[in-house]
Structure 1
Amino acid sequence: MAPYNAENTKTEAPYGQWESEITKEALFRGSRNLVASRVCNQTGRTFFTESRPDGIYYLVEAYQGDTGYECRTVLPAGYSARSRVYEYGGGAYAILSSSDNKGEDGPRIIFSNFSDCSVQILDVDTQKVICLLEKSDVLRYADFAAHPRPGSPWVLAVQEDHASAPKPDQVRNYVVAINTATGEVRRAVEGADFYMYPSFSPDGKKIAWVQWDFPDMPWSGVKVYWADWDEKAGIVSNVEWVAGEDGMTVTEPRWGSDGFLYFCYEKTKYRQFYRRRPGGDSALLDFKGYEEAEFGSASMFIGRLVSPYSQSVGYLLKSLHEISHTYSILSKECVVAVATENGTDKVIAFNPETLQSQDLSLPLSEITYDGLYRLSDTSFIVIGSSATAPQALYRVDITADDTSRSSIRKLTKIWWSNDEVFKPEIFSTPQHIRFPATSGPKRDIHGFYWPPHNLKYQGPEGTKPPLIVQSHGGPTGHTGPGLNLSMQYWNARGYATFAINYSGSDGHGKTYRELLNGRWGAIDVDDIAESVQHLSTTSLIDGRRVGIRGGSAGGYSVLQALCHYPALFAGGACYYGISDVKLLLQETHKMESHYVDFLLFTPDMTEADKEKVMRDRSPVHHAGNITAPLLICHGEEDKVVPISQAYTMYDDIKARGGEVRLVKFPGEGHGFRKGGEFAQGA
Structure 2
Amino acid sequence: MLLTVVSDRSSANKYLYNIETKELKQLTKTLNPEVASEDLVDAEIVRFKSFDGQEIPAVYYKPHNASSSNKVPALVWVHGGPGGQSRAGYSTSIQYFVNHGYAVLAVNNRGSSGYGKAFYKMDNQNHGDKDLKDCVWGKKWLAEQEYIDSSKIGIYGGSYGGFMSLAGIIQYPKEFAVGVDLFGVTNWIRTLRSIPPYWESFKVALYDEMGDPSSEDSVRLKNISPLFNTDKIKTPLLVLQGSNDPRVLQVESDEIVAGAKKNGTPVEYVLFPDEGHGFVKKENQIKAAAETLKFLDKYLKKEEPKGKLN
Q: Confirm or deny a common fold (TM above 0.5).
A: yes
Cα-to-partner distance string for 1:279-315 (whole Å, 9 max, x where unaligned): xxxxxxxxxxxxxxxxxxxxxxxxxxxxxxxxxxxxx
1:450 equivalent to 2:61? Answer: yes
Query: Displacement, 1:492?
Result: 2.3
State the alpha-carbon separation in 1 of the partners of residues 45 and 221 from structure 2.
Answer: 33
Distance in 1 (alpha carbons) for counterparts of 2:147 and 2:134: 17
> Secondary structure of the equivalent of 2:151?
coil
Deviations 1:530-581 (A, max 9, x none): 1011221243522210112111111111111111111111111111111110
Q: Tell me the distance in 1 between the aligned counterparts of 2:26 and 2:86.
A: 24
> What is the TM-score normalised by the length of structure 2?
0.83
Deviations 1:302-344 (A, max 9, x none): xxxxxxxxxxxxxxxxxxxxxxxxxxxxxxxxxxxxxxxxxxx
Which residue is equivalent to 2:172?
A: 565
Distance 1:606 1:493, change over 3 A: closer
- In 2, the alpha carbon distance for the partners of 1:540 and 1:594 equals 45
Q: 2:75 aligns with which of 440, 456, 468?
A: 468
2:207 counterpart residue number: 597
2:15 alignment partner, SS class: strand
Contact 1:563 1:625 in 2 (8 A): yes
Aligned 8 A contact 1:620 1:648 in 2: yes
Q: Does 1:623 align with 2:244?
A: no
Query: Which of 596, 607, 610 matches 2:215?
Result: 607
**Which runs of structure 2 are paired with 1:344-363 in the superposition (5 Å)?**
none
Could you tell me how far 1:656 is from its partner in structure 2?
2.8
Q: Tell whether the 8 Å contact from 1:558 to 1:574 is kept in structure 2 after alignment.
A: yes
Cα distance change of structure 1 residues 667 and 485 upon mapping to structure 2, 3 Å threshold: closer
- Decide which of 193, 200, 205 is 1:586's aligned counterpart: 193
- Alignment counterpart, residue 86 of structure 2, candidates 457, 479, 486: 479
- Counterpart contact for 2:10–2:31, Cα < 8 Å: no
**Higher RCO structure (Cα 8 Å, ≥6 apart):** 2
Unpaired runs of 5+ in structure 2? 292-310
**8 Å contact 2:162–2:183 — kept in the other structure?**
yes
Instruction: Give the TM-score taking structure 1 as reference length.
Output: 0.39
C-alpha distance 436-586 of structure 1, shift in aligned 2 (>3 A):
same
Structure 1 residues 561 and 595: alpha-carbon distance in aligned structure 2, compared to 1, 3 A threshold: farther
Distance 2:168 2:24 in 1: 43
Tell me if 1:430 matches 2:43. Answer: yes
Q: Which runs of 5+ in 1 are unaligned?
A: 1-378, 400-407
SS state at 1:466 partner: strand
What is the CA-CA distance between 1:520 and the residue it aligns to?
Answer: 2.1
1:418 aligns with 2:31: yes
Cα 1:409–1:679 shift into 2, 3 Å: same
2:139 to 532, 535, 544: 532
Structure 2 partner of 1:670: 277
Does 2:167 match 1:556? no
What residue number does 2:295 align with? none
Asked whether the 8 Å contact 1:466–1:542 carries over to 2, the reply is yes
* C-alpha deviation, 1:483, in angstroms: 2.5
Aligned length: 286
CA change 1:474–1:661 in 2 (3 A) is same
**Deviation by residue 1:461-509 (Cα, 9 ceiling, x = unmatched):** 5452210121111221211111223222222222211111111111222
User: Quick one: which amino acid aligns to residue 417 of structure 1?
Assistant: T
Specify whether residues 663 and 422 from structure 1 end up closer, same or farther in structure 2 by C-alpha distance, changes over 3 A only.
Answer: closer
Judge conservation of contact 2:242–2:250 (CA < 8 Å) in 1.
Answer: yes
> How far did residue 526 of structure 1 move?
0.9
Alignment of 1:368-407 (within 5 A): 379-382=1-4, 384-398=5-19
How far residue 411 of structure 1 moved from its aligned partner, in angstroms, is 3.8
Q: How many Å separate the matches in 1 of 2:163 and 2:286?
A: 22
CA distance in structure 1 between the aligned counterparts of 2:287 and 2:42, rounded to whole angstroms: 29
For the 8 Å contact 2:125–2:211, the answer to whether it is kept is yes
* Structure in which a larger fraction of residues adopt helix: 2
DSSP-derived class of the 1:499 partner: strand
Q: Deviations over 1:147-200 (max 9, x none)?
A: xxxxxxxxxxxxxxxxxxxxxxxxxxxxxxxxxxxxxxxxxxxxxxxxxxxxxx
